[in-house]
Amino acid sequence: MKVVRLHGIEAVTVEQAALPDLPSGWARVKVHSAGICGSDLHNFKTGKWFASLPVTPGHELFGMISEINGEADPFRVGMRVVADSRVWCGECAFCLAGENNLCESLGFVGEVFDGGFAEEAILPLQSLLAVPDDVPDDIAVLCEPLGVALRVVNQLNPAEGDSVCVAGGGTIGGLTALLLSRLRNCRVQLLEPNLQRYQLISSVVTLDPPGVYALAVEASGHPAALNALIGGIRSGGRIALVGIFHHTDGVDLNALVEREISLTGCSVFRDEQHEALQVMAALAGDLRRLVAPPISLDEVPETYLALLAGKSDYLKTVIKL
């Protein structure tokens, strides 16, 4: 089968590989589509977060079960599934409390073991979620990032009509803006320097002009964006952090103290991926507009470089198999 393999920093290839053996309690999935995440690009640039190399990336994947080894209920061959990207221990205090996203040894599909940038993937049954019949094939792959965005919304927990400013119009920021508008009926402002991306998001979300806001979402991972939110939010406001920062130099921490601004972390999702599957059908038309024309596995290496160079105005790039 054809696979994408990451061998180290900035070393990604497309190769032929043998079908892996299927352990007990795992399923073989014929991959229909896989999404490229910002963390995939981070790993490509840094070589971090891997249990071992080489590895097949891809934690955002959708496909159909082709084989199961062991007791499978409720799964069956032929079922459409998406991957739960998290790999948790099931034994630490957080896992035992149902807080798997805070697992002390949390890892991810495509890092701990091979992921979905391949014609076929094998996954533990606990990492699979059945896709409802009303979710179209072409958007099902967005379930994982939509779950992350839902976690942000749930952590922020705005009231209907609240004004929320989102910094960063990438995948998570854009999806969060969409969910805030559609599910919580919030008024949304967006800080996004890429005009084409701003306009794309504004085609699915009615965006307010700049103004005062009590709640905010930092989805860019840039200190300047966080400072902009701190400067614009009213005193006593709350900021949800979901962007991954490479450094925090220059962040005005004193303003957080003096103006009692609260920061809330948002790590992956808890049960929100299940929630995402329930709302996807209603959002299908909007979600389609945010996705770039699909690419093939052979195009992944060049697409990595293009995405890192900022050459896409879409929110998500999807590999179609």
Q: Which helix (H) or strand (E) holds 123?
A: strand 120-124
> For helices 171-184 and 195-202, what crossing angle results, to 10°?
20
Q: Is the dihedral of CA 213, 216, 219, 220 positive or negative?
A: positive
Q: Sort 69 into a burial class: Cβ within 10 Å, 0-12 / 13-18 / 19+.
A: middle
- Please state, in angstroms and rounded to a whole number, the distance separating the CA atoms of residues 88 and 305: 31
Give me the phi and psi of 258, to 5 degrees please.
-65, -30
- Please state, in angstroms and rounded to a whole number, the distance separating the CA atoms of residues 62 and 81: 6
> For helices 143-156 and 171-184, what crossing angle results, to 10°?
60
From the options 1.10.3720.10, 3.40.50.720, 3.90.870.10, 3.40.190.10, give the CATH code of 148-265.
3.40.50.720
Reported CATH class of domain 2-142+291-320: alpha beta
Residue environment code for 104-132, b if the CB has 16+ CB neighbours within 10 A, otherwise e: eebbbbbbbbbbbbbbbbbbbbebbbebe
The residue extents of the domains of the chain are 2-142+291-320, 148-265
Please report the pLDDT score of residue 223 as a whole number.
Answer: 96
Inter-residue contact 196 to 173 (CB < 8 Å): no
Give residue 202's identity as a one-letter amino acid code: S
Please report the pLDDT score of residue 50 as a whole number.
Answer: 76
- Please state, in angstroms and rounded to a whole number, the distance separating the CA atoms of residues 213 and 234: 6
Inter-residue contact 207 to 201 (CB < 8 Å): yes
Q: Which residue has the tokens 């300047």?
A: 224
Please report the pLDDT score of residue 82 as a whole number.
Answer: 98
Please report the pLDDT score of residue 308 as a whole number.
Answer: 92
pLDDT per residue as tens, the chain (321 positions)? 999 999 999 999 999 999 999 999 999 999 999 999 998 998 898 877 777 889 999 999 999 999 999 988 899 999 999 999 999 999 999 999 999 999 999 999 999 999 999 999 999 999 999 999 999 999 999 999 999 999 999 999 999 999 999 999 999 999 999 999 999 999 999 999 999 999 999 999 999 999 999 999 999 999 999 999 999 999 999 999 999 888 889 999 999 999 999 999 999 999 999 999 999 999 999 999 999 999 999 999 999 999 999 889 999 999 999
- Please state, in angstroms and rounded to a whole number, the distance separating the CA atoms of residues 94 and 72: 26
**2-142+291-320 and 148-265, same CATH topology:** no
